[in-house]
Amino acid sequence: MSKIAIVAALEREVRPLVRGWATMRVEDSGRTFESYVNDQAVVVCGGMGANAGRRAAEAILNSVQPVLVVSAGFARALRYDQHVADITIPAEVVDIAGKKSFRTLFGRGRLWTSFQVVENSTPPDGLQLFDCWAVDMEAAGVAEAAAAHNVPFVAIKSISDEAQFKMPPVGKFISADGAFRTAAFAMHVALRPRTWGAVAALAANSSLAAEKLCTALRSLIEYKTVQGYDLQVELAKIGVEVAP
């Protein structure tokens, strides 16, 4: 089978998966991304935000010819029945900034992609919650790149913060290129004891979310199944045949 291309925002989201994999560098529009590769998949960490996700996806799509592009990473729950480390695989990704939407190869419900960190579960102006389960910052950008290359697309997200969770102020520490300024954030938190509890909870939740996410990705890569979906069956539905 051709490789599966996985685009994440941050290395910590996929660290349990790529430990021990070989590394390679891929480029797009003058920017270099470090990726992780084995015989079945390639993983690139492009940074936070839809633009960063799109650039990373373009880089990997121009370097390999994957049978599937996956936007993988953390998401915030929008429904109160979604809990930390739950896996959501949407049937549709909605870019709430451009009001564009992208169908996925398989899944249920919707995922919103926001241009900024979402700190609560209130729907943005003009949008209704309906069957939207979660919100992230990258999936729509990755989906746009996959669509431009006519490659099937899936989003696999792990809940890192529940709907009622009050986020610490992480948004202002995301740089223009999508990198997270960890040192500046740590200094900010160190001077504000009121944030320590929320930051500790976010770190613990993110660790759980990463383990569950990587379990799902490993199943997709090694067994071609995830959450009850069979990749080869789903690809056959759209007329794509791949070697086992």
Residue range 76-93: average pLDDT? Answer: 93
Domain count, the chain: 1
Is 18 contained in some domain? yes
Is 213 contained in some domain? yes
Q: Does residue 1 surpass a pLDDT of 70?
A: no
Beta-bridge partner residues of 45: 8
Is 195 contained in some domain? yes
Q: Does residue 170 surpass a pLDDT of 80?
A: no
CATH for 217: 3.40.50.1580
Residue range 115-129: average pLDDT? Answer: 61
Instruction: Tell me the residue type at 209.
Output: A
Is 42 contained in some domain? yes
DSSP the chain: -PPEEEEES-HHHHHHHHTT-EEEEEEETTEEEEEEE-SSEEEEE--SSHHHHHHHHHHHHTT---SEEEEEEEEEE-STT--TT-EE--SEEEETTTTEEEE-SS-SSEEEE-SS---SSPPPTT---TTEEEEESSHHHHHHHHHHTT--EEEEEEEEE-TT----S-GGGB-TTS-B-HHHHHHHHHT-GGGHHHHHHHHHHHHHHHHHHHHHHHHHHHHSEETTEEHHHHHHHTT-----
- In the structure, what pLDDT confidence band is assigned to residue 117 with cuts at 50, 70 and 90? low
Q: Does residue 72 surpass a pLDDT of 90?
A: yes
Q: Does residue 87 surpass a pLDDT of 90?
A: yes
- Stretch among 1-15, 19-33, 120-134, 203-217 having the lowest mean pLDDT: 120-134
- In the structure, what pLDDT confidence band is assigned to residue 232 with cuts at 50, 70 and 90? very high
Is 215 contained in some domain? yes
- In the structure, what pLDDT confidence band is assigned to residue 133 with cuts at 50, 70 and 90? confident
Is 193 contained in some domain? yes
- Among 120-134, 168-182, 207-221, the range of highest mean pLDDT: 207-221
Q: What is the model's pLDDT at position 92?
A: 95
Q: Does residue 241 surpass a pLDDT of 70?
A: yes
Q: What is the model's pLDDT at position 130?
A: 63
Range of the domain at 111: 4-237
Is 22 contained in some domain? yes
Calculate the average pLDDT of the chain. 87
Is 242 contained in some domain? no
CA 51 to chain centre: 13
Contacts of 30 (CB under 8 A, 6+ apart): none
Q: What is the model's pLDDT at position 169?
A: 66
